[in-house]
Structure 1
Amino acid sequence: MSQEIKKVVLAYSGGLDTSAIIPWLIDTYQCEVICCCANVGQEEELEGLEERAKASGASKLYIKDLTDELCKDFIWPMIKSGAVYERKYYLGTSIARPIVAKWMVEIAEKEGADAICHGCTGKGNDQVRFENTIAALNPELKVIAPWRIWNFTSREDLIQYLDSKKIAYPDSAKNPKLFSRDRNIWHISHEGGPIENIEIEPDEKFWVLSVSPEEAPDKPEFVEIEFEAGEAVALNGKKMSPKDLLVELNKIGGRNGIGRCDMVENRLVGMKSHGLYETPGGTILCFAHSELETITLDRDTMHYKDVVAERYAELVYFGQWYSPLCEALNKFFDVTNKTTTGTVKLKLYKGNIISAGRKSKYSLYNEKIASFGDVTLYDHKDATGFIRCFSLPSRVRSSMEKAAGLK
């Protein structure tokens, strides 16, 4: 394989791992290394990365802001689905991986690269998400995953290797955090170190985007979100882009203690892991969207959509965004959201989201039919025949069991 690799595109962050990967690729494959750093709203300092990448041996560095595209083409469609992985996880890290991998494939094709390299470990989900996307978009590209093949086993090994090469690395590498974080515009996750202990309440120091419910204001805050065909378009009466709306909702949700999640999940690779997730704006958006659907979706569509959303959540979590099934389900959700237009008012109070009203020109809620006092559209007597027909299978089975001596 080493003889076939002449040019590699590397997912680059500027941290210890990717700083070591650049010279390791050059040593191992005698290849050119091109770095890519995607801005997905992680709010990290990107200045100086080009100089650092080139000092490590890379020939060039691409940097691109993908946050607008991430919100519009990935997060907003996901909100339409109502997908939540294992009842809790709003798929924060999962939804950002396909767009990064897609961009890297585009760079690889533009540069005529032979392979794409990532710094994911062999235990996590991200290796699958990256490689599944690459396989779906360009199966001719090879994938290099150093943590699965090199001989380094610790941060100390990487530091020693870089020192031997006289290559600089971040000062923070010598004093690493006891836990790891992954952030984008949709969420932030916290894993590893003391967080791996599932028997105790997480320390308040881990949380970044939100205050604790106890420290949230004693006065509720109201927000109103407007949707058009399932997509949030305005906040408190102000039209906003998906990115700007999400940024603002993150601030609002964070200061009200919204969107914290302490979860033991089932990773795709088979193990269980413990993570802390913060999705303040996303939690509010998903709640509001669901509230609007209660009046715009008929019963059968709503119930079936819930079943499909669970499978869709698995597809996103497993990195199968570019699969035929995911593509088809996105079209299904477009159809079910055609009438999900209207506004939802919510009351936020100390970690809670409380409905405070919803309206839509496509509302299926009819107060006259629901009222006990009006019999012009629905007469109570109409229920008698309906119930006899609906209960017929139960009565037939009961008669059979009695005749057969089964009861």
Structure 2
Amino acid sequence: MNRNDKRIGIFSSGGLTSWSVCRFLKECNFDIIAFLADVGQKDEENIDDFLKDCKKAEIPVVKIDLKKEIAEMGVLMVKYLAKYEGGYWNSTGALRAVLVKNISNLMREYKCTMFSHGCVGGGNDQKRFDNYGNIFLKDIEVQAPWSNQEFLSKFRNRDDMVNYLLSFGNYSTLDKKRNSSTDGSLIGTSHEGTNIENLNFDYSSVVKPVMSVMPYKAEDKDEKIELTFKSGVITQINGNKVTPLEALCICNDIAGNNGVSLFSVVENRIKDTKCRGIYESPGMNLLGYAMLKIYESTIGKREFELLTNMSKIIGKQIYQGRFFENSTTAACKAIDQLAENANGTVRLSIYKGNIHCCSISDYYISNSNVQQKRFAHGGHIWDKK
């Protein structure tokens, strides 16, 4: 590999592949800086092994707190109901948008001339990093290890990566990474692995939720919550004002503790293949359900159809790493306009993974969403009043 005294900034998570990239490029005598973001992830609790190894290898690590930014992205996704196929919140695609946008200037500050990441060759995330790199890192060259033959021959599989890293120290967290991986943030956690990919395999026997409990393990008692929205944005929980970060943290805890948990999806990947993944986004599921109820109550039939179509576009764009493109912006602006009067308070009951809407109050009424009533007039006349 041609070093040319270039400094490489690496988007690092402490996961197996980004850790391997850090060590490999350092071994190739590149000048390396690892950028490690705190996005509220629950899947890499034992990050100390990665940090100890970086210190041993004299790889500087720049830590950055992006919990506020990832929560703001999550609240936007709720406003836009931006789910992907199968009805799940694509936390991984959203996280890539937040990481590249917010770390790009840091890489310039540290005089990086190249950037790299741990996303495997030809996968969804490599496409996402490429797309966002073309927007926010135009002046910085990409170093994609999985496009390099030396790297490919050294790391044929995850076993090779684990064994390589174990040669530098006895790290207890590595063995469990041989056949599975996770990617997490406040928006959600994705689970992938050898067994999960096999549709004949019962994933529930190996996948352990990290943000939630399974429904059958939740308390045998429902929990009530009141969510208030203003123009499609969560503003209060149980009557108390909240920031996006506070809202997502509270909803993750409440929904996760009450069994809003794992979700299995066989999705169409960017490369036109199919693959199963397991996802959990308890707080997003809770907020998204409430948001849907507000939209159902406050906007008319044709507006709702338009919103649904725009939501699908935005969800797909996030998945494909195209959130900042003009087409996405246009779809977002359309929903922004539709959501101007998406106000109201939703009272929910959560019980063992099920979310029920108990009531909706203080919602906006116009000529397009006047509630039709029958029984208020003796049960024999339909009326809008």
User: Given the two structures, how large is their TM-score scaled by the length of structure 1?
Assistant: 0.83
On the 8 A contact 2:374/2:382 being kept in 1, the answer is: no
1:226 aligns with 228
On the 8 A contact 2:17/2:120 being kept in 1, the answer is: no
1:196 aligns with 197
SS at match of 1:244: helix
Q: How many residues align?
A: 372
On the 8 A contact 2:294/2:363 being kept in 1, the answer is: no
| Cα offset, 1:343, TM superposition | 0.3
What is the correspondence of 1:221-370 to structure 2 with a 5 Å cutoff? 221-364=223-366, 365-367=369-371, 369-370=372-373
Cα distance between partner residues in 1 of 2:382 and 2:356:
33
2:125 aligns with 126
Cα distance between partner residues in 2 of 1:371 and 1:42:
49
Gaps of 5+ in 2: none
| Cα offset, 1:281, TM superposition | 1.1
On the 8 A contact 2:128/2:322 being kept in 1, the answer is: yes
Cα distance between partner residues in 2 of 1:36 and 1:127:
17
What is the correspondence of 1:1-400 to structure 2 with a 5 Å cutoff? 2=2, 6-28=6-28, 30-43=29-42, 44-45=45-46, 52-58=53-59, 60-72=60-72, 74-149=73-148, 150=151, 151-152=153-154, 153-158=156-161, 161=164, 167-168=168-169, 170-176=171-177, 178-208=179-209, 209-364=211-366, 365-367=369-371, 369-371=372-374
* Gap change, CA 1:315 and 1:16, over 3 Å in 2: closer
Larger Rg computed on CA atoms: 1
On the 8 A contact 1:250/1:281 being kept in 2, the answer is: yes
* Gap change, CA 1:19 and 1:255, over 3 Å in 2: closer
Deviations 1:296-341 (A, max 9, x none): 1122111111011111111000011121112222222222211111
Deviations 1:253-300 (A, max 9, x none): 122222431111111122211111111111110000010111211221
On the 8 A contact 1:292/1:340 being kept in 2, the answer is: yes
| Cα offset, 1:366, TM superposition | 3.6
| Cα offset, 1:248, TM superposition | 1.7
On the 8 A contact 2:100/2:132 being kept in 1, the answer is: yes
Deviations 1:209-246 (A, max 9, x none): 33332333333222110111111121112222211221
1:401 aligns with none
Deviations 1:89-112 (A, max 9, x none): 211211111111123321222222
Query: Percent of aligned pairs with the same residue?
Result: 28
Q: Which amino acid aligns with 2:303?
A: T
* Gap change, CA 1:227 and 1:301, over 3 Å in 2: same
